[in-house]
Amino acid sequence: MCGIAAIMGVHMDGGDRTIRAMVAKLRHRGPDGDGVTLLEGCHLGHARLSIVDLAGGAQPMPSADSRYWISFNGEIYNFADLRAQLEGHGWTFRSKSDTEVVLASFAQWGEQCVDRFRGMFAFAIWDTERRRLFCARDLFGEKPLYFARRQGGLAVASEIPALRAAGGIPGDLCGEGVDAYLALGYLPPDLTIYQAVQTLPPGHYLTWDADTGVAVRPYWKAVPDPRPIDMAEAAGRLRELLQVAVRRQMVADVPLGAFLSGGLDSSTIVALMQQSSTQPVKTFSVAFGDEIDERPFARAVAAMYGTDHHELDVGPLPVGDLVVQMADIYDEPFADTSHIPTFLVSKFARTKVTVCLSGDGGDELFGGYSWYPTLAAAEGKSASRLHWLVARGLSTALGHRWHGLDRQSQILGVASRWPKEPWRRAAKVHTYTPDATRQAWRASQAGWQPTPPVPPRGDFEDVLAYDAGVYLPGDILVKVDRAAMANSLETRAPFLDRDVAEFCLSLPYTLKLREGETKAVLRAACRELWPQSLHQRGKQGFGAPYPTWLRRPDVEEHLRRVLAPGSDLRNLLPGLEPRWPLPATYQTWMLLTLGLWLERRERAPTR
């Protein structure tokens, strides 16, 4: 896991000063080493977290003939197989790293090389002969990549502060991005908060040269493609694919472990890891005292498999300090309260390991969220007849500990105009901020509404596609990447292996949601891997007690400041007229998060 940076074009004055400034902003992503390479028309930079081939994987790395140079972030889990294929084509290798395999794959297969990779990645390759840049990002966006046009050229980096360190990139906010944050609490994967900064969407690649400029093209999308298959066959095939994915994601030359919440997803990953390991797997859990404590379930899994289990009870937290720290770590406003426990468990795990596997992606691919059964049950029914039943069912399903009251009022508020299309119902469920708060933006901007990653067909598959294509990359994977990399910890998600993901997308949702039960196919495939206590365990999201936090004096002090007349937040949202005290809702937490980010966005320190 690393940080990458590149600048291209004719205006690259200052020698290596600019690219080094960019790399310095990525030091937390790669504390083990750094490098820059100055080429004609392109400067490449790299900050390295050493995982594979500790001695031979330094970057930027040239091809054997020095035509191609790469700066690479991520892991290619099938690099040994690809290496063998490339050797059959006559390639020889100087190192044991996957980086050199990526470079040779591009030289051999060109842009189509991305279809051969099984892994998470964001990389930039410069062709010195054609003076052309090629960048690519993995299927779901596990690894970030941003770009901006600069002085007749282009700048590329793993994080926005590194990109803006290149200079010449304005900091004007994007109205569409602000509106998206107010709706969702995060930036969707095709937008950023800045007008001048773009993100390379998941499953896309980018090319640039001085004559044609930037071109962005998709090579993969999370598109459901249901095919006939029975439950027994699907469960058997899923189990095989998961075993392969977990086994190849355990390759590392550094200590490796797993997050273990005691939920179905992380428990499945830990079970399959331990089956493939001759040593006890190191596992890590976190608790908030009596408020959120999943340790009994995690302990049951750890005991069943004899893992080397480690627990962190964070107890009383300096929440006021942590919310400010999160505003620095997350380069854009980000409201998901679980970023704090994710940051803390990552910091804890980093004391023992350098790599952690997780269960991320399981809910989106297997239909695991608690509101899915009700949405599926309403498929094709009249909103006028069912709106009350749907609202009641959803508010009950969503009534887990922290978002329940917010979601209940939200759902009841839209019930009378409940959309017919399931994906639009899903978008409504995910929209937090009421229209009144966003009115100024809608009046001055063209307006923004979440759109599905594929044209809506009007069936429940679009709900799953929405969460896999928008929520997963925009919220879940951003949360984990920034929280873990702030602690120089690499995370891996076996459920997002391309073979696993494509198989899951080929399954009809009726194998995922069955008789009101979520994750039916995963249960059928892996039920015997779990202790009995997990079999009937209800869904518990990995959240945080933000209503309690909002009432703390240190947090209330921040809230009063960011909402005061003349503050950055009030200037951004002139229609916002808060009455004190504000309710301890998720909407209030979102405003706090946005206000703190606005305060610090121009003067956040180098991490």
- Report the catalytic residues: 2
Quick one: tokens of 259?
């997050």
* Four-CA torsion 517, 519, 520, 526, nearest 10 degrees: -130
CA dist 283 and 91 (Å) reads 39
Cβ 305 vs Cβ 271: under 8 Å: yes
Give the H/E segment covering residue 500: helix 498-505
CA distance 160 to 417: 39
8 Å CB contact between 556 and 562: no
State how far the Cα of 236 lies from the Cα of 247, in Å rounded to an integer.
Answer: 17
β-partners of residue 42 are 8, 39
Q: What are phi and psi of 34, to 5 degrees?
A: -150, 165
Residue 203 to residues 106, 199, 275, 339, 485, Cα–Cα distance (Å):
16, 12, 31, 24, 21
DSSP 274-306: HHT-SSPPEEEEEEETTTEE-HHHHHHHHHHHT
Residue 221 contacts residue 473 (beta carbons within 8 Å): no
Question: Environment class of residue 225 by beta-carbon count within 10 Å: exposed (0-12), middle (13-18) or buried (19+)?
Answer: exposed
Amino acid identity of residue 482, one-letter, is R
Give helix then strand counts, H and E, for the chain: 25, 18
Beta bridge partners of 44: 6, 37
Kindly write down the DSSP assignment for every residue of 449-471, as one continuous string: ----SS---SSTHHHHHHIIIII
Given a contact cutoff of 8 angstroms between Cβ atoms, the answer to whether 5 and 19 are in contact is yes
How crowded is residue 220: how many other Cβ atoms within 10 Å of its Cβ?
Answer: 17
